[in-house]
């Protein structure tokens, strides 16, 4: 089996994003369990708001590259910001575009049988658990397997140190645990290699 690669990202472009910090903690747990972690910048994949008429005229080049990026990874580790009880519009838009097949493509190539781990945080006490749940629903519908282990954690403004790590060892273990579990499931996932396309895709090793 080739090296298992997980695309780790937060659903935000916000410079000081709490969810980016959290997903990086989880990603360290996955890396320690022996998988490769890849990150990317949303600014390199700027997509217009999904519009069926746009699609009719041809997929934006950024969408094609984003689809290739997803397709090139065995799994995803996602930090989910919550906006009004749902995932961020950035994530929803990107997933909507990626769910659309280019002519001749099999349905859901970016998502089918991918293995996904979710973490979330927000300044509130519930830690964006509703946003997290909305991503679970969406990705499950698209054919991904979202592992049951997840970690929503509240009070985002207080829980990270200056280096972006979780201060509380128990919280840190919980976040790393989601990443580690994702890596473990992937190692035993029968469809792991069948889900990965080797078409060129950007992203950088974390
Ligand atoms: C339009 C909007 C709606 C929001 N709705 C929620 C919400 O429903 N629940 C919540 O916990 N936080 C909510 N927040 C606060 C975000 O969780 C907070 O801005 C968080 O820092 C975003 O994640 P990030 O730090 O990764 O960018 C909302 C923020 C905005 C701008």
Hey, which residues does 145 pair with through a beta bridge? 115
pLDDT at 21: 98
> Which amino acid residue places its CA nearest to atom 30 of ligand 1?
83
What is the tens place of the pLDDT at every residue in 67-107? Answer: 999 999 999 999 999 999 999 999 999 999 999 999 999 99
Task: State the chain's mean pLDDT as an integer.
Answer: 95
CATH of residue 82's domain is 3.40.50.360
- pTM of the predicted protein model: 0.96
The total domain count for the chain is: 1
Q: Is the pLDDT of residue 125 over 60?
A: yes
Cα 109 to Cα 14, 16, 30, 89, 179, distances in angstroms: 28, 32, 23, 22, 23
Q: For ligand 1, say whether the CB of 10 is within 6 Å of any of its atoms.
A: yes
Task: Detail the DSSP E strand segments found in 14-144.
Answer: 36-39, 75-79, 82-83, 86-87, 115-121
Contact (CB, 8 A) for 90 and 137: no
Question: 131 CA to middle of ligand 1, Å?
Answer: 9
Q: Is the pLDDT of residue 144 over 90?
A: yes
Give the DSSP letter of residue 146. Answer: E
Q: Which domain holds residue 36?
A: 5-204
pLDDT at 202: 61
């Amino acid at each position: 089996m080739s090296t298992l690669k997980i695309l780790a990202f937060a659903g935000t472009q916000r410079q000081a994003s709490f969810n980016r910090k959290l997903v990086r903690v989880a990603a360290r747990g996955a890396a320690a369990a022996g998988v490769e972690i890849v990150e990317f910048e949303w600014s390199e994949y700027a997509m217009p708001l999904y519009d069926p008429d746009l699609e009719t005229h041809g997929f934006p080049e950024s969408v094609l590259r984003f689809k290739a990026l997803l397709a090139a990874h065995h799994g995803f580790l996602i930090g989910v910001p919550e906006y009004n009880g749902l995932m961020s519009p950035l994530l929803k838009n990107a997933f909507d575009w990626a769910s659309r097949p280019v002519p001749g493509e099999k349905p859901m190539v970016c998502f089918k049988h991918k293995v996904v781990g979710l973490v979330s945080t927000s300044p509130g006490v519930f830690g964006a658990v509703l946003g997290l749940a909305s991503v679970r629903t969406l990705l499950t519908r698209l054919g991904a397997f979202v592992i049951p282990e997840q970690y929503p954690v509240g009070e985002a403004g207080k829980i990270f140190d200056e280096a972006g790590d979780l201060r509380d060892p128990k919280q840190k273990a919980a976040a790393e645990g989601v990443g580690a579990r994702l890596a473990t499931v992937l190692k035993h996932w029968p469809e792991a290699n069948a889900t990965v396309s080797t078409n060129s895709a950007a992203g950088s090793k974390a």
